[in-house]
């Protein structure tokens, strides 16, 4: 497992997904093959124990997928369901105990992000108040489908944050744990947020599901058509989602060296982040 040089950040894939649609979904060759998407989570070695950013799919999702994830997700997104990919298994492989994970910072509570919560029942779970309200009180069919109450039936130790914070590079930031901040990015869900992690002289920014493909934060923006349609379908506020993608494009253009931007489901951003950490350890602290 690789990590950054200064602040130790491990880039984990906590759930491979193989939806149909080939290049319409992931931009690589072929229409008839399955696409490949990941659940990119961060494991940060902080001064306050381990901090996990998103949890992907957990051990109970792998063991009881129908109950935990529901049939429509299994049929449409086709997760691989490999216990070795859970955050719990990867934390152990890195030589830590599950109890070392003191905090979990959630971009949002969709089922492909919250599945591992029950593997870390003692951790504080940081989330925006609007997002927790949406998950506990779903108001539409989409919200009923995307949030899965069995994933928090164990009673997580929620640490709920308001969406108002201090200015940060054109956004708001809300302190979650030390130098790790929630950055409200409403649109994909009611209380969706990115997560900004300070690395001393730079930032790692996890955009969650605010965008799905690296081309969306580049200029001119580009994205496989199937992924565009999927994002529209899942958005609770499409105008806000698109506006926030524009803001992220501006962030990327204004601070290409200071801020490294990743998202939850793009496998190439995951491998770039891992490669940057491993191949250029001295640059990693800056990028
Ligand atoms: Zn997602």
Distance 264 CA to ligand 1 centre (A): 6
Distance 282 CA to ligand 1 centre (A): 31
Distance 132 CA to ligand 1 centre (A): 16
Distance 199 CA to ligand 1 centre (A): 25
Q: CA 242, CA 232: separation in Å to the nearest integer?
A: 9
Q: Which helix (H) or strand (E) holds 68?
A: helix 65-69
The pLDDT, as a whole number, for residue 278 is 59
Beta-bridge partner residues of 37: 17
What is the bridge-based pairing of β-strands 101-105 and 193-198? unpaired
Distance 36 CA to ligand 1 centre (A): 13
Beta-bridge partner residues of 105: 53, 126
Distance 88 CA to ligand 1 centre (A): 19
Distance 112 CA to ligand 1 centre (A): 5
Q: CA 143, CA 137: separation in Å to the nearest integer?
A: 9
On whether the pTM is more than 0.85, the answer is yes
Distance 251 CA to ligand 1 centre (A): 22
Distance 268 CA to ligand 1 centre (A): 16
Q: CA 156, CA 50: separation in Å to the nearest integer?
A: 17
Distance 177 CA to ligand 1 centre (A): 22
Long-range contacts of 280-284 (CB under 8 A, 24+ apart): 281/4, 281/5, 282/5, 284/4, 284/5, 284/6
The total number of residues shown for the chain amounts to 287
Distance 19 CA to ligand 1 centre (A): 13
Distance 62 CA to ligand 1 centre (A): 17
The pLDDT, as a whole number, for residue 6 is 59
Residue reference for tokens 């940057």: 276
What is the bridge-based pairing of β-strands 101-105 and 49-53? parallel
Tens-digit pLDDT string for the chain (287 aa): 444 445 799 999 999 999 988 788 877 777 767 889 999 999 999 988 999 999 999 999 999 999 999 999 999 999 999 999 999 999 999 999 999 999 999 999 999 999 999 999 999 999 999 999 999 999 999 999 999 999 999 999 999 999 889 999 999 999 999 999 999 999 999 999 999 999 988 999 999 999 999 999 999 999 999 999 999 999 999 999 999 999 999 999 999 999 999 999 999 999 999 987 654 443 333 33
Q: Where are the beta strands (DSSP E) in the chain?
A: 8-13, 40-46, 49-53, 101-105, 124-128, 157-161, 166-168, 171-177, 180-184, 193-198, 203-206, 259-262
């Amino acid at each position: 497992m690789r990590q950054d040089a200064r602040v130790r950040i491990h880039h984990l894939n906590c759930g491979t997904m193989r939806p149909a649609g080939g290049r319409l979904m992931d931009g690589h060759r072929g229409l008839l093959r399955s696409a490949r998407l990941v659940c990119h989570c961060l494991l940060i070695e902080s001064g306050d124990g381990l901090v996990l950013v998103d949890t992907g799919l957990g051990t109970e999702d792998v063991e009881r997928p129908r109950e935990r994830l529901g049939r429509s997700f299994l049929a449409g997104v086709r997760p691989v369901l490999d216990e070795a990919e859970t955050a719990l298994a990867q934390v152990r492989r890195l030589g830590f105990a599950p109890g070392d994970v003191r905090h979990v910072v959630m971009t949002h509570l969709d089922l492909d992000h919250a599945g591992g919560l029950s593997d870390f029942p003692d951790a504080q779970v940081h989330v925006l108040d609007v997002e927790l309200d949406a998950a506990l009180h779903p108001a539409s069919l989409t919200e009923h489908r995307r949030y899965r109450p069995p994933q928090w039936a164990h009673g997580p130790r929620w640490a709920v944050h308001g969406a108002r914070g201090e200015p940060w590079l054109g956004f708001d930031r809300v302190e979650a744990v030390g130098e790790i901040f929630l950055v409200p990015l409403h649109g994909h869900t009611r209380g969706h947020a990115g997560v900004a992690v300070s690395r001393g002289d730079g930032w790692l920014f996890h955009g969650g599901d605010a965008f799905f493909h690296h081309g969306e934060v580049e200029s001119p923006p580009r994205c496989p058509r199937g992924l565009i349609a999927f994002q529209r379908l899942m958005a609770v506020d499409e105008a806000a989602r698109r506006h926030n993608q524009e803001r992220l494009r501006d962030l990327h253009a204004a601070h290409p060296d200071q801020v490294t931007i990743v998202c939850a489901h793009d496998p190439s951003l995951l491998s770039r982040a891992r490669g940057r950490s491993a191949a250029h350890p001295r640059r990693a602290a800056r990028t």
